[in-house]
Amino acid sequence: MLGLVLVGSALWMLRDREEPAPAAPAASAPSEPGAAATQMPVVPSFDIVRISPEGDTVIAGRAAPGAQVTIYDGDKELGHAKADERGEWVFLPQKALPPGTRKLSLSALPPDGKGEPLRSEGDVVLVVPEPGAGGVIAVQVPKTAGGTSRVLQRPGDAGAGLSIAAIDYDEKGRVGVSGSAEPNAKIIVYLDDAEAGRTTAAANSDWRVKASRALTDGQHTVRADQVDASGQVIRRAEVRFEINLSDANGAGDIVVVVQPGNSLWRIARRIYGEGMSYTQIFEANRGQIQDPNKIYPGQNFVAPKTKP
């Protein structure tokens, strides 16, 4: 059996900046942009618009699997991306976006390239300041009246670019650590202050290290350091977690450690692949969750590893 300690991303959960938070399980759950797999056709949407202090830009979102997505800067084409089999796409501009205010939008064509392109239902207003004049602001705004705006980046967000996303371990205590960082960032991972491995973040910002040693029952610490070309640490993320290899009860469950930016919808999408399964986590933790719209950093939830 496998155990998993899951840690979230580094954005605060605010109703005006995250995907719509789920209502009580008895009611129908709100739709998350790009996550309504049952609706056809699939309208392209933004999930991430992020610019680092160094000017590196990451734009990502959802569309129909295999769709050809075009990203627009105003009326000009900024670039293209292809959605994978899960409907996820990532675009990394080769050049830094110049200072100024701009509006980003999307269109998507089916994999065969036939038919009318679908346009995104929300645009992203992006404010890139002059160097040294403040932080980037990115806000997704609806095209229709009554919609909710969503803050994708506010000043200071991009500086926390390194994160530990998950720590998984098997019945022998062999550990794998994964997370996100700036594309091509150099990452060194430590377990209990001993180096466990090194890696480089992929173009989609993901990284993973399989530790060279096994752990025993108890409390442990995992640390990820992002280093520059000279080996100096420029960013650091650290998480404490606990494993219990001798207890078979719940060994197949996932222990979720709530971090700033988590919502039940986001946690369920990472574990089960769909946000609608947030009700399973809610039901398993009714003693801690009074309102599914309100979860707090530091809470620990148990989530069954498989959907019902």
Query: What are φ and ψ of residue 172, in 5° steps?
Result: -100, 5
Q: Is residue 274 part of a domain?
A: yes
Alpha-carbon 47 to chain mean position: 8
- Does residue 36 form part of some domain? no
Provide the phi-psi class of 254: left if phi over 0, else alpha when psi is between -120 and 50, else beta. Answer: beta
Q: Which of 153, 182, 204 is where one domain is finished? A: 153
pLDDT tens digits in sequence order for the chain, 308 residues long: 444 444 433 332 222 333 444 444 443 344 444 444 444 578 999 988 888 766 678 888 899 999 999 999 999 999 999 998 888 888 888 788 888 888 999 999 988 777 788 999 888 988 888 776 667 888 888 777 555 677 777 665 554 578 776 676 666 777 778 777 888 999 999 999 999 999 999 887 788 888 877 888 888 888 999 999 999 888 888 877 777 666 544 444 566 666 555 677 777 777 777 777 778 878 877 777 877 777 775 566 766 666 55
State the Cα–Cα distance between residues 45 and 192, nearest whole angstrom: 40
Q: Note whether 174 and 272 are same-domain residues.
A: yes
pLDDT at position 33, please?
46
Query: Which pLDDT belongs to residue 200?
Result: 94
Write down the residue that tokens 């996550």 correspond to. Answer: 35
pLDDT in tens, 227-241: 999 998 888 888 777
Q: Which of 196, 200, 189, 201 is nearest to 173 (CA)?
A: 196
Maximum distance among all Cα pairs of the chain, rounded to whole angstroms? 60
Q: CB burial class (10 A; 0-12, 13-18, 19+) of residue 306?
A: exposed
Q: Same domain, yes or no, for 147 and 164?
A: no
Look at the chain and report how many structural domains it folds into.
2
Domain boundary among 131, 153, 175: 153
Domain that holds residue 237: 3-12+159-303
